[in-house]
Structure 1
Amino acid sequence: AGSWTAAGGAWVGDRGGYYGGLALRDYRDDGLQGRHVVKIRLESTPGDRGHARLLATLWRLAAAPEVAGVVFQLKAEPASSGAHAEEMGDALRMLRSRGKKVLCHLDEGGGRALHVCSQADRIVVNPAGGVRFSGARSQYIYLGGLLQKLGVQAEFVRVAEHKTAPEQFTERGPTPTAEDDHRDLLVQTEAVLLHDVGGGRRLSVPELRDRLARGPFTAPEARAAGLIDGVAHDDELTAAMAEVVGERLPLLPPDASPALAPRPADVMGSRDRIALVYIDGDMVDGRSRSVPLAGNRLAGSYTIAAALQQARADSRVRAVVLRLETPGGSSLAADVLWREVYLTARVKPVIASMGSTAASAGYYVASAAGQIFASRSTVTGSIGIYYGKADVSALLGKLGLNVVTYRTAPHADADSIFRPFTDEERTQIGGKIKHFYDVFVDRVSRGRKLTPEQVDAVARGKVWTGAQAHERRLVDRLGGLREALAEARHLGHLPPD
């Protein structure tokens, strides 16, 4: 957890939660530094917060007159999702619109690298590398057959037919509804990639699709296909950039560039600002935490609620941007945070910025914001709910184990993993799940100013891309974090810098 200032560009470590201050006015030294190129080397794909920090760095470079260009030296994919690739591509276009030259250097680029780098002035690849991409794909693992062999029965009750996540535990493969939904999502996200890459490389979508189908590509093949412009070793990047810029300039790492020098903290301390509040990871009740070894982040309702309360009470915070990077989670956590967002939006502007995913409980929370921004490839919607458990009684029987339970009421052990649900319990759970679904629909209805019937028509667990959600009035505007921050500055009456 932590905070960063857009003007200072520094990420200040903080263990207290997700509340961050964004000072909006830049500070610069009086003397103009010598012109140079900044080389950004990525050896691993940025995580959600690393991605936001990288965007902030690029925005600062775009505003620095001493920076003539940027070299992206990519040893890994530059984005973890289509939505992040869109935001990175937008940052590259912003650099170019401010007169900066952008060169991408790949070892072996995949789809995300091609998506981002297609927005650069020039793409070069290691002579022994290439482009390892020939089309979009998605994969889903179904455990139903394995669990059945083990003697484990997954039992779920859901609302509604498009809420297909539990099927990975109950089925051997996708149901027809899930099959259609998965294919549609893949087609929609590929369309964004083809549009952006085609535009950047000046290829029509049909022509680009035909060329990509011949991949993956060696460097010469990628060049012949019009996907890259040339080849270069690492030590040849200065010369390669000189061809783009028109003069030979020093390549400096970010920490050596005066444009990214830390700003004195006292310059920023008292200014009005935007609070950037993160909800990243699976949403859970309690405090935010990370799962050791697995590397998963859990977004805790207590931690995020405290951050929103702090932002709401701080008179220097003129607006709040809620950054969502979550597939969903606890319905209770969602409602707690929906309430905090709702209360905050009553006293100051709240803008929801959807990253890679803001689905299910994530959309629940976002619906309370004054405006919702999403990238075209953002995965959102999934307005639905499910509940279930695993019954391991058959597995224990195979192992010769027996569990004896004593109870004072018929349903005292209904959530026990040592027996299945009874028919009566399934009926009761179905009723409770329907109640929670109705609450979900009501929250969305109030936030989006739609009737419950209108919400239900686009809900029922259906996943949408950001572009589809925008068409269905679940999202207000298409755009990434940069556009959300700009709107927050506007609504908070803060200067554009």
Structure 2
Amino acid sequence: MRDFFKYLFASMLGFFLSIVIVCVIFFFIIVGLIASVDSDKTVTVSDNSVLFLNLDQPITERTPKNSFGNLPIVGSEGKTGIGLNDLLKSIKRAKNDDNIKCIYINVSSPEAGFATMREVRNALIDFKKSHKKIIAYSEVYTQGAYYLASAADKVYLNPEGALEFKGFSSQLTFFKGTLEKLGIEAQVIRVGNYKSAVEPFILDKMSDYNRKQVTAYVGGLYNTFLTDIAQTRAIQKDSLYLIADKYKIQQPQDALNYKMVDGLKYKDEILEELKTLSGRSKKDNIRSVSINDYAINNPADGTGKDKVAVIYANGEINGGEGSDNEIGSERISRAIRKARLDDDIKAIVLRINSPGGSALASDVIWREVILAKKVKPVMASFGDVAASGGYYIGCAADSIFVQPNTITGSIGVFGIIPNFQNLMTNKLGITFDGVKTGEFADIMSTNRPMTSGERFIIQNELNRIYSGFVSRVADGRKKSKAYIDSIGGGHVWIGTDAVQIGLADRIGSFNDAIASAAKKANIKDYKVVEYPEVIDPLKSLLSESTDKIKTYYTKQELGDNYPIYQQMKKVMTRSGIQMRMPFEAVIK
């Protein structure tokens, strides 16, 4: 009888779990069907409308698909954001849209890099050529928020609000002390004194080399920041520097006194001004459309049979398929190959936003760029960062376009092999023993220190890869290997310096790169097509649900400390020789 009940309850449990799984799958299918219907919708823009720019949302390279809307599904991102491509296209379209009378910017803490923000800022400046007005309002402006808002005709601040204007600082996190407490040794091999990605694991502060380059590129970023604000706010750059250096903006009235803002107003006063600008009477409601909805109506780029392919390479570089936020060598090289073999595609633009990654994966992508360049023009457009492996995959392009505040270069390689022997043996009581058929059969072992012979072998391999890296850049940039080596060594450069030393060709926008590609291909009427296809989040969630759920809960638990955990995890699990810029320096 006991066995009977055991099997009965087991059958009931199995049946119940099957019902739950079927319901979950059915739910995802319904959500996917709803999303597919929504993807075909259009948005009606009424006359006398205000275009509402929420610039606090993530500004990604491309607008992600959103199969889940605002549903609270664990493992899916709550904020989808908007792609830079759609954002720029929408602002340009609004310039000539008679239904759009003005733009209202709301921004407090933008989620974008400085080069991305400069692209948006320049699009707003171009919009003003239509003689339509732009108003920015916020209760709090961070420095990045003010950088965007300063492009507006009028910048308003809440009378009890705050404007942050204090200069830039860069903070690096070092883990040497943590590893020592855990009994873990980071065994480092590298080529390039400036290749400082390894420093957080072997030092407790910046090396002199790293301090020199960080000082240079943070100073370069700050110079662009001040120059751009000075131009649109009609304030001398030296005055802006002094205002920040002496921390003169402490109260809202200070911001007004120093002409950083045009007025201290409450939201209701802003709404009344927007009514006036949009041609609405005081008794009428404001007609507005959000930038996200407005972007839904964006038409395809161009017409005609001829095409320019834009290939997005976004995120860290690894082998395999990757994702929309991780460059997979298979996925990106396949996209380049597809564009190369398509006779209707006359030119290619490689849009790169990457700090680098696997040396091998970078070389796989580089090879496809070389093959494509043999048959059609290839341009590279660098976003916020295109460094190390990110630079490697773009160095063969016919021309490289950067923003003044793009971070690039970092020509160097490194490897980190953790030694867990002290942790395992002295702290956990775990020992290892075994046999091997050759002296180097267990090379790369992580349960003991490297021998001098092993270090010699690995160093030689890094030297070979670095020499290849330098050769690739020298060939692509038409420079000598000696010259590239002199500006290499892992050194990080900003866009303006990269152009000056020959690592890039010109300061230019994403759209400038596309126009240049079309010009070199000698085509005028062309359509812009994008590769690879954006991954459907429903498919992504179902295929990677376990990892996404783990990441979700880890982020919830660690909060602001999640990036530190992420850096530690990466170095302990990363395999292969790396081409990567200095570990994430936080600039604020």
Instruction: Assess same fold via TM > 0.5.
Output: yes
Return the offset for 1:203.
1.3
> 1:399-451, CA deviations, whole angstroms, 9 ceiling, x for partnerless residues?
21112232221112221111111111111111111100110011111111111
Distance 2:223 2:303 in 1: 44
Return the offset for 1:298.
2.0
Match of 1:181 in 2: 213
The reply on whether 1:326 has 2:358 as its aligned counterpart is no
> 1:60-119, CA deviations, whole angstroms, 9 ceiling, x for partnerless residues?
222334433211122432x52221121111111110123332111223111111112212
267-276 vs 395-404, greater mean Cα deviation: 267-276
Match of 2:264 in 1: 231
Match of 1:413 in 2: 442
For residues 338 and 437 of structure 1, do their structure 2 counterparts lie closer, same or farther at Cα, with a shift above 3 Å needed? same
Q: How many residues align?
A: 461
> 1:178-211, CA deviations, whole angstroms, 9 ceiling, x for partnerless residues?
1111111111111110111111111112211111
Secondary structure of 1:339's partner? helix
Distance 1:222 1:246 in 2: 30
For residues 423 and 209 of structure 1, do their structure 2 counterparts lie closer, same or farther at Cα, with a shift above 3 Å needed? same
Aligned residue identity for 1:118? S
The reply on whether 1:276 has 2:306 as its aligned counterpart is no
TM-score by length of 1: 0.86
Aligned residue identity for 2:463? K
Distance 1:33 1:151 in 2: 65
1:61 touches 1:259 (CA, 8 Å); kept in 2? Answer: no
Return the offset for 1:128.
3.0
Match of 1:147 in 2: 179
For residues 429 and 287 of structure 1, do their structure 2 counterparts lie closer, same or farther at Cα, with a shift above 3 Å needed? same
Match of 1:39 in 2: 52
Distance 1:258 1:138 in 2: 36
The reply on whether 1:124 has 2:160 as its aligned counterpart is no
Return the offset for 1:242.
5.2
Q: How high is the sequence identity, in percent, across the aligned residues?
A: 29
Return the offset for 1:146.
1.6
Match of 1:392 in 2: 420
Aligned residue identity for 1:121? D
Return the offset for 1:221.
2.3
Distance 1:208 1:334 in 2: 41
155-164 vs 122-131, greater mean Cα deviation: 122-131
> 1:341-373, CA deviations, whole angstroms, 9 ceiling, x for partnerless residues?
111122222111100000001111111111100
The reply on whether 1:240 has 2:235 as its aligned counterpart is no
Structure 1: runs of 5+ lacking an equivalent = 1-12, 15-31, 291-296
Return the offset for 1:157.
0.9
Match of 1:484 in 2: 513
Rg larger in structure:
2
* Equivalent runs, 1:32-431 vs 2, <5 Å: 34-49=47-62, 50-77=83-110, 79-213=111-245, 214=247, 217-241=250-274, 250-254=286-290, 261=297, 263=299, 271-289=305-323, 297-397=325-425, 398-431=427-460
The reply on whether 1:447 has 2:476 as its aligned counterpart is yes
TM-score by length of 2: 0.73
For residues 401 and 465 of structure 1, do their structure 2 counterparts lie closer, same or farther at Cα, with a shift above 3 Å needed? same
> 1:453-493, CA deviations, whole angstroms, 9 ceiling, x for partnerless residues?
11111111100001100000110110121221222232341
Distance 1:302 1:70 in 2: 41
Secondary structure of 1:253's partner? strand
2:48 touches 2:279 (CA, 8 Å); kept in 1? Answer: no
Match of 2:27 in 1: none
Aligned residue identity for 2:118? E
Return the offset for 1:165.
0.9
Distance 2:165 2:100 in 1: 32
For residues 148 and 256 of structure 1, do their structure 2 counterparts lie closer, same or farther at Cα, with a shift above 3 Å needed? closer
Aligned residue identity for 1:125? L
Return the offset for 1:132.
2.3
Return the offset for 1:256.
9.8
1:163 touches 1:460 (CA, 8 Å); kept in 2? Answer: yes
